[in-house]
């Protein structure tokens, strides 16, 4: 795909007026919240944040925003991926490496104009995309800010960087707006998910969500400079003791999504947050565990893997 021919998906919906309609539908869903699979049905529109799993009310909280050079090469390019890190989360991963953000809500409330300003600043700094991190619980707020940014000249592709614990209704609202879906697929076993991320239904939700994401955007495609422009990129964090059921996840991706799925198999697990409360999570991933995960992915038929040009840090024991 030539960079000159690229146009973000959201511009068509913006010009037709449908983007504005989606924003209205999304905000209305906050009044009896079903934004994510938790279905808390809390009135977040009127700031009943304390009753929601995500502890987020009418406005999103943002922990930080900046050009990120630690993302995949096809996202960071040479000027960085324009990341906006949202605070809080709809999962409760006991090992979360951003514990202060996801569990404790470190960050500042950001109104729609604030979000739009952040996006435009990232565009002005030369970032190649706008990368929303942990957006599952703030899809309405994200869309509201994005609309204002587009109205003021945003033209970068949108990356939806998610745990894959997304509702089908939120994904419907994002159809035609998100250019690049980047879900994690964390665990394939419901009992494991119940104690590690506090969501027994996580595997079923993730499978359903990733299928829908792929239906919307297809396999990942690049421009002539190697930057991702549209499609699905799946991340998978290898866990100690095989807790993630990596083979089953790779088999699902190859057989039920596409053998051309672009996958980043990650080795950077380390015990953080409350991981030390669980014996199985108290160490990092061994080299043999990581190499076995890559081997399993290849055995299951996948062949498009993220590799780094330089500076890749993998802490293996």
Q: Using one digit for the tens of pLDDT, what is the confidence trace for 208-230?
A: 999 999 999 999 999 999 999 99
Superfamily (CATH) of domain 3-305: Aldolase class I (3.20.20.70)
Q: Using one digit for the tens of pLDDT, what is the confidence trace for 243-295?
A: 999 999 999 999 999 999 999 999 999 999 999 999 999 999 999 999 999 99
Sign of the alpha-carbon torsion through 205, 206, 209, 212: negative
Q: Using one digit for the tens of pLDDT, what is the confidence trace for 138-167?
A: 999 999 999 999 999 999 999 999 999 999
pLDDT at 4 over 80: no
pLDDT at 35 over 60: yes
pLDDT band at 1 (very low <50, low <70, confident <90, very high): low
Lowest pLDDT segment from 96-110, 118-132, 256-270 = 96-110
Q: What is the pLDDT of residue 52?
A: 83
Question: Among residues of the chain, what percentage have pLDDT more than 90?
Answer: 89
Q: Using one digit for the tens of pLDDT, what is the confidence trace for 170-209?
A: 999 999 999 999 999 999 999 999 999 999 999 999 999 9
Q: Determine the Cα–Cα distance for residues 271 and 94; give it in Å rounded to an integer.
A: 9
Which among 92, 72, 89 has a CA at the least distance from the CA of 81? Answer: 72
- pTM for this prediction: 0.95
């Amino acid at each position: 795909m030539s960079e000159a021919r690229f146009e973000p998906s959201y511009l068509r919906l913006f010009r037709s007026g449908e983007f504005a309609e989606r924003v209205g539908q999304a905000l209305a869903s906050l009044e009896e919240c079903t934004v994510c699979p938790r279905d808390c049905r809390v009135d977040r529109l009127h700031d009943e944040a304390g009753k929601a799993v995500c502890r987020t009310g009418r406005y999103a909280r943002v922990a930080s925003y900046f050009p990120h050079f630690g993302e995949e090469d096809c996202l960071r390019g040479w000027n960085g991926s324009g990341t906006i890190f949202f605070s809080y989360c709809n999962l409760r991963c006991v090992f979360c490496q951003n514990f202060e953000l996801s569990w404790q809500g470190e960050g500042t409330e950001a109104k729609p104009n604030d979000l739009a300003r952040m996006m435009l600043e990232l565009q002005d700094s030369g970032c190649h995309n706008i990368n929303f991190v942990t957006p599952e619980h703030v899809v309405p707020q994200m869309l509201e800010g994005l609309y204002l940014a587009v109205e003021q000249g945003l033209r970068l592709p949108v990356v939806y960087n998610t745990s894959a614990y997304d509702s089908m209704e939120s994904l419907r609202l994002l159809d035609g707006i998100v250019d690049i879906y980047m879900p994690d697929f964390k665990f394939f076993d419901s009992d494991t998910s119940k104690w590690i991320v506090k969501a027994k239904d996580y595997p079923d939700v993730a499978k359903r969500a990733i299928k829908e994401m792929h239906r919307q955007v297809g396999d990942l495609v690049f421009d002539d400079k190697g930057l991702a422009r549209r499609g699905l990129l799946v991340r998978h964090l290898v866990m100690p003791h095989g807790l993630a059921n990596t083979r089953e996840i790779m088999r699902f991706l190859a057989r039920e999504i596409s053998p051309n799925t672009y996958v980043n198999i990650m080795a950077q697990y380390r015990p953080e947050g409350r991981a030390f409360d669980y014996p199985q999570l108290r160490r990092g991933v061994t080299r043999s565990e990581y190499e076995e995960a890559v081997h399993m992915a290849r055995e299951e038929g996948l062949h498009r893997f993220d590799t780094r040009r330089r500076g890749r840090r993998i802490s293996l024991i």
